[in-house]
Chain A
Amino acid sequence: GAVVSQHPSRVICKSGTSVKIECRSLDFQATTMFWYRQFPKQSLMLMATSNEGSKATYEQGVEKDKFLINHASLTLSTLTVTSAHPEDSSFYICSARDQDLLRKETQYFGPGTRLLVL
């Protein structure tokens, strides 16, 4: 199957700093990428849908100025957590969608990034 990578896999930062997480589709072009957040022992919550070359669509309750998303190319989307606070500590997972919507498994997940804000 297709491969999606995330970098970094884990990051620890001080409160008030910004953290950038990269999501790359390694062997396919992804016009759409999704960003999810998962708190411990909870489900994946969709934060935003990122479309290449256009502004991201954020889910209700997600602050667009807090979580900046850039999808500059067909293989790269970035999520920047600005002015991070301890409550932003979470597991962030990206997912990239292959253009072939007819294939059943068209959405591939990255390995996730664990963010800890001190």
Chain B
Amino acid sequence: AQKITQTQPGMFVQEKEAVTLDCTYDTSDPSYGLFWYKQPSSGEMIFLIYQGSYDQQNATEGRYSLNFQKARKSANLVISASQLGDSAMYFCAMRGGNTGGFKTIFGAGTRLFVKA
């Protein structure tokens, strides 16, 4: 069975500082993808970053980077130089391979508050 765990219900960060949002996962699929999405109050799901299970390097997309530790089954999101507009809900997600039916499941989410 697939599982995504986000243990931080809420996080605070000072503007311009970096913040790490934790995510651990479990799957029996050898091939899988890990995602982070941002959901502002409007409800839309905004894709941030992707990490494939066979990718050798950690993914980076602008101010977002994914700290992928495969042996520990963790995929933490690092946001550098936080901005007020980063305040939102953040979801870690995993898309399984053939065993998991290629379904994408989500963690419970972490609400990030950026302080001025």
Contacts and interface: CB of A to CB of B under 8 A. Distances in A.
B102 A112 contact: no
For this complex, into which size category does the number of interface residues on chain A fall?
Answer: 20 to 34
A111 B44 contact: yes
B43 A114 contact: yes
Interface in B23-66: 33, 37, 42-45, 47, 50, 52
Given A104-B33, A107-B95, A112-B44, A44 B106 contact: yes
Secondary structure at the A interface, as helix, strand, loop or mixed, is: strand
Interface string A14-54: 00000000000000000010101010001111100100000
Contacts of B70: none
Contact of A93 (B45, B108, B109): B45
Contacts, number: 46
B94 to A, nearest CB: 12
A32 B102 contact: yes
Contact of B101 (A38, A49, A93, A109): A49
17 contacts: A1-B47, A34-B104, A38-B43, A42-B108, A42-B109, A43-B107, A43-B108, A46-B104, A57-B101, A95-B104, A105-B47, A107-B95, A109-B37, A109-B45, A109-B47, A111-B43, A112-B44
Interface of B: 33, 37, 42-45, 47, 50, 52, 91, 95, 101-109
